[in-house]
Amino acid sequence: MITRQTLLAWCDDMLQPYLFKDYAPNGLQVEGAENIKKVVTAVTASHAAITYAADSGADMLLVHHGMFWKNELQTITGWKKQRIATLLKHEINMVGYHLPLDAHSELGNNARLAARMGWITERQCGEQNLLNIGCLNQSQTLADLAVQLEKQLGRIPVVVGDVEKKISKLAWCTGGAQGFFQTAINEGVDVFVTGEISEAQYHLANETGIAFISAGHHATERYGIMALGEAIEKEFGVQIDFFDEQNPA
């Protein structure tokens, strides 16, 4: 068992949220019990994840996507009231780390996706250094890369481009990073991998010859929060339980 403040201080020291300009608060978002014996990790602080944490007796829900997003209504009504009411009733601390967990060189979503896929990271660039540039450990076709992503992530990706094209250099950013596609194009990569696709990326891929893969927002962002939980378990010995919601987006 550790105190809430001890765990938060360790997370802040590890992820350094003060370095990022983010769209939501990082760290403690809803206060619960002071002492932490069990932590549930999840991609998003959905009501399903909160309910799972409550049913499993967790003292903290640690997520990548928390609440209180920029430009969101500030009133506590409807779905937001239901989430917060459940957290307060069960004295569950809700803690979220967004961009700091994307970018971390060891525990981050981008780093963990690369590790699962066997990609070699060369450098970070773009907005807040969130875009990763690297290469495959061996040349393969776009079709081969899509099959490997499906096998690792358990989701059929959306692929735009010549599936027979040989791929060696790639850029990636997990989640909703389709807006980074032009930056990836400027870097001269063969393919850009992210979680989501919008209408415009279809045309950009076809017109530039740079392939685009949307592998799922949730699917590409499971592994950072899992790695953070595993690091906490190793450091403090508290019980960690990962809740994997079946989100197709």
Contact 130, 171 (CB under 8 A): no
State the helix-helix crossing angle for 109-117 and 222-236, rounded to 10 degrees.
Answer: 100
Q: Is 90 annotated as a binding residue?
A: no
What 3-state class would DSSP assign to 42? strand
Q: Residue 228 burial (CB < 10 Å; 0-12/13-18/19+)?
A: buried
Rounded to whole angstroms, the Cα distance separating 163 from 229 reads 36
Q: What is the DSSP string of 123-179?
A: EEESGGG-EEEEEEEEEEEHHHHHHHHHHHHSSPPEEES-TT-EEEEEEE--SS-GG
Q: Is 221 annotated as a binding residue?
A: yes
Q: Is 72 annotated as a binding residue?
A: no
Enclosing H/E stretch for 8: helix 4-15
Q: Is 102 annotated as a binding residue?
A: yes
Q: Is 218 annotated as a binding residue?
A: no
b/e code 97-136 from CB counts within 10 Å (16+ = b): bbbbbbbbeebbbbbbbbeebebeeeebbbeebbbbbbbb
Which residues does the annotation place in the binding site?
A: 64-65, 102, 217, 221
Which residues does the annotation place in the binding site for a divalent metal cation?
A: 64-65, 102, 217, 221
